[in-house]
Amino acid sequence: MSGINQPIGTEDPEYYAELFCKTRRLADWRLPDDERSCPDIPGIQGVDGLLSRRLQSLLDGVADISLCRRGNVSATMACLKNDKGTPETRLYVVFNHEDDESARHCRQHLQTIFEMLRRVPNKPPAVDGSPKVIANELEDYFIEICKAIHNYSFEIFAHRVSKREHKLSDIREFIEQDRTHFTTEQRSILVNFLEHVHRIIMAVAKAQTTGQLSTTFIKMLLWKYSHWTEHDLLPKDSPADKKVTLLDRADLWLAEEHNIGFQLRRWALKIMSFLITANRLFILTQSHRLRKLLQGNFSVRVLTSPTTAPYYCDLSSKTIQVALDAAVAEISNLPADWDQKRESFIEWLSKKLEVSEVRQKPKVHAELAMIIAMAKGEIKDVLPYVGVSKLSCIMCSHYIRAFNEVTKQKIATKGSHGKAYPGWSWPSLPDSDEELRPAFLRRIRQQLLSDVEQHAENLRRLSDSSMGSGGPEWQIGRTIDEIKELDDMLDMEE
Ligand SMILES: [Zn+2]
C-alpha cells in the first residue's frame, strides 16, 4: 500500500479508479431475480437454479436492509452449514461502519427481521389461486416486517422518497394538460399515481421528527404498490423486468416533450425498494425448501472493512499517456488510427480531471472487503455469491474477474453499473497479490483501450450529426448516458 508521500502511478490499480471517474460506461446488469432462463446469469456454483436465484435475491436483499445511513454500501455472503456439515444459516455482512455500536445495531436488526420471518405461518397456496398471491391473513405479518425494515433505514427511505419532490407539480401539470398523447383513462391513472407519491412525501415529511413510520403508513404503502402493479405502472413479477409500462411511456413523453431528465419509473421503484426487498424475504417463509434457510441455528456476523492509507495521485496528460502506452504494449496489434485517437482522448479526458488528487480516506469497497475476508479464511464455506446493496463499480467488477481468474473461483455478484469512484482502494491480499495485481492491471488497461475506442466512436457520431438536418433519424434510441456523453463533448469543443 502506497503512503501519501508516495504518489500513486500508472502501475497502481488505484490510478485507474481516479482516471475512470469522469467517464461513463454501459451497465452490465445481471438480473438475479429474473425467473426466466437467461444463459449469461451465473448461478451459485453447487446450488440448483431456483434456489440459487432465491439465495442471490436473499443476499442482495439483506445487503439492502442492513444499511441505516445514506452513502454506505453493504455486502453479504452466506454459509448454509456448520463445521460438522449440519444445516445452519450464517450470514456475513460488511459495510463501512464507524463504530462497534452501529455494527451491533445492524446485527440486532437483521436478527430481529429473521426472527419475525420465522414466526410467519406457512400457508399453502389456495387451490384455485396463483401460488404467488400471498394469503390475506399474512398481510399483518408482512406489514410488521416491512415496518421494521423501513424504520431501521428511515433516513435512506426518506431521501429516496423526497429526492425528486420539486419536480412533482410540474409533471402533474404537464400530464393534466395533455389531450392527445394519453387516453383519458391513462391520464387519470398517471394523475392518481402522482397524487399517491405526493401523499407519501407528505407522510414521510411528517414522520421526520420521530424517524418512525406507523403501521398505517406501511399498509398505505403496500396498497399503493399493489395498485401501481395492478394498473400497469410497475411490472408485476419482477421490478427489474424490462416490460414497458405506462410509467415508461410517460417517462419518454416527459423527456421528449417537456425536457424532464429523470424517470418516474425509477423513482417509483426507489420509493418501493424496501417494500420490494421485504417481499422477497417474505417469500422465503412460503416455500417449503427456502423456509429451511430460516430454521435451525441462525447467526449474523458484521465484519470490519480493511484500513487504508491516504494517497496522492498524479492525473496529468503525461501520466495518461504512460497508462495508454502501457495498455497498447500489452496487445499485439496497434488499434487503427491509434496516435490520433490517443491524442484526442488525452485532450478530452485531461480537461475533465484535476492534475493531482489527494485521497485522505480511500475505501476498500464492501464486496471486495467480503472477498478478502473469505480469501483470508476469516469466513469459511460460504456460497460463491456476494450480495450487494448497489451494483458494483467498474473497478470492483474487474477485480472480481481477476480474482476468479487467479484463484480459479467463480464468485458472482449482481453486476456493474460501469462507473468508478474516487478513493477506491486496492484490498491487500499478500498470498495472491503478486499474481492478482498484474491480472487486474491487464483487465483494467483493456478497459482503458475500450474507453478510447468508445470516445472515438462518440466523436465520429458527433461529426456525422453536424452534416445538417434532413438525415435519417438515427439518434432515436440513444440512452440518456450516451446523450450526456455527447453533451460533455460539446462542452469540450467550445
Ligand atoms: Zn466498487
pLDDT category at 85 given cuts 50, 70, 90 is confident
Asked if 274 and 161 count as a contact pair (C-beta separation under 8 A), the reply is: no
- Predicted confidence (pLDDT) at residue 225 exceeds the cutoff of 60: yes
Measured in Å, residue 364 CA sits from the centre of ligand 1 at 8
From ligand 1's centre to the CA of 419, what distance in Å? 9
Q: What is the pLDDT of residue 241?
A: 63
**CA 365 to centroid of ligand 1, rounded, Å:** 5
In the reported structure, the alpha carbon of residue 427 is separated from the centroid of ligand 1 by a whole-number distance in angstroms of 11
Q: Is the pLDDT of residue 308 over 50?
A: yes
pLDDT for 476: 35
**Rounded mean pLDDT of 148-157?**
97
* Ligand 1 centroid from CA 366, angstroms: 7
Query: 134 CA distance to ligand 1 centroid (A)?
Result: 36
The per-residue pLDDT for 50 is: 74
CA 394–ligand 1 middle distance (angstroms): 7
Rounded to whole angstroms, the Cα distance separating 390 from 264 reads 19
| Predicted local confidence at residue 471, as pLDDT | 36
Q: How far is the CA of 98 from the centre of ligand 1 (A)?
A: 19
How much distance in Å is there from the Cα of 168 to the middle of ligand 1? 33
How far is the centre of ligand 1, averaged over its atoms, from the C-alpha of 413 (Å)? 11
Which burial class, exposed, middle or buried, applies to 61 when counting CB atoms under 10 A from its CB (0-12, 13-18, 19+)? buried
Q: If we measure between CA atoms, which residue out of 429, 433, 365, 435 comes closest to residue 394?
A: 365
Q: Is 29 helix (H, G, I), strand (E, B) or coil?
A: strand
| pLDDT surpasses 70 at 46 | no
DSSP secondary structure letters along 229-248: HHTTSS-SS-TT-----HHH
The pTM for the full model equals: 0.83
Separation of CA 71 and ligand 1 centre (Å): 13
Higher pLDDT, 86 or 445: 445
Please report the pLDDT score of residue 41 as a whole number: 43
14-27, pLDDT tens digit by residue? 999 999 998 878 77
Which helix (H) or strand (E) segment is 215 a member of? Answer: helix 215-230
As a whole number of angstroms, the distance between CA 121 and CA 204 comes to 31
pLDDT at 417 over 70: yes
Tell me the CA–centroid distance for residue 417 and ligand 1, in Å: 10
pLDDT in tens, 393-414: 999 999 999 999 999 998 999 8
- Ligand 1 midpoint to CA 416 (Å): 9
pLDDT tens for 233-263 read 998 766 556 788 999 999 999 999 999 888 9
What was the pLDDT predicted at 81? 82
CB 398, CB 25: distance < 8 Å: no
Give the phi and the psi of residue 479 in degrees, each rounded to 5. Answer: -85, 165
How far, in Å, from the CA of 273 to the mean position of ligand 1? 21
User: To the nearest 5 percent, what fractions of the chain are helix, strand and coil?
Assistant: 55, 10, 40
* Cα–ligand 1 centroid distance for 133 (angstroms): 37
Q: 72: helix, coil or strand?
A: coil
Ligand 1 centre and the CA of 396: distance in Å?
4
| Beta strands per DSSP E along 270-314 | 298-303, 311-314
Mean pLDDT of the chain: 85
Mean pLDDT for 346-373 is 91
User: If you measure from the C-alpha of residue 216 to the centroid of ligand 1, how many angstroms do you get, rounded to a whole number?
Assistant: 38
Q: What are phi and psi of 332, to 5 degrees?
A: -80, -40
Distance 320 CA to ligand 1 centre (A): 22
Reply yes or no on whether the pLDDT at 130 is more than 70.
no
**Residues 352-365: what's their mean pLDDT?**
89
Q: Tell me how far the alpha carbon of residue 391 lies from the centroid of ligand 1, in angstroms.
A: 8
Residue 298: what pLDDT? 80
pLDDT per residue over 454-478, tens digit each?
999 888 887 776 554 443 333 334 4
What pLDDT score does 286 carry?
A: 82
CA of 73 to the centre of ligand 1 (A): 9
CA of 209 to the centre of ligand 1 (A): 34
- Report pLDDT for 57: 85
Give the torsion through C-alpha atoms of 64, 66, 68, 72, to 10 deg: -70
| DSSP result, 364-427 | --HHHHHHHHHHTTSS-S--SB-EESSPBPHHHHHHHHHHHHHHT---B-SEE-S---TTB-PP
Distance, CA 400 to ligand 1 centroid (Å)?
10
Q: What is the rounded average pLDDT of the residues 54-75?
A: 89
Averaged pLDDT, 219-223: 91
Q: Which residue has the cell 456476523?
A: 301
Q: How far is the CA of 395 from the centre of ligand 1 (A)?
A: 6
Cα 127 to averaged position of ligand 1 atoms, centre (Å)? 46
Q: How far is the CA of 386 from the centre of ligand 1 (A)?
A: 12
- Between the CA of 271 and the centroid of ligand 1 the distance, in Å, is 24
The predicted-structure confidence for 184-212, as pLDDT tens digits, reads as follows: 999 999 999 999 999 999 999 999 999 99
**Does residue 487 carry a pLDDT above 60?**
no
CA 46 / ligand 1 centre spacing (Å): 26
pLDDT at 473: 36
Distance (Å) from CA 103 to ligand 1 centroid: 21
The predicted structure's pLDDT at residue 152: 97
Task: Retrieve residue 344's grid coordinates.
Answer: 484526442
Ligand 1 centre from 411 Cα, in Å?
15
| Cα 306 to averaged position of ligand 1 atoms, centre (Å) | 14
Distance 15 CA to ligand 1 centre (A): 14
18 CA distance to ligand 1 centroid (A)? 12
Q: What is the pLDDT of residue 215?
A: 93
Ligand 1 center from residue 368 Cα (angstroms): 8
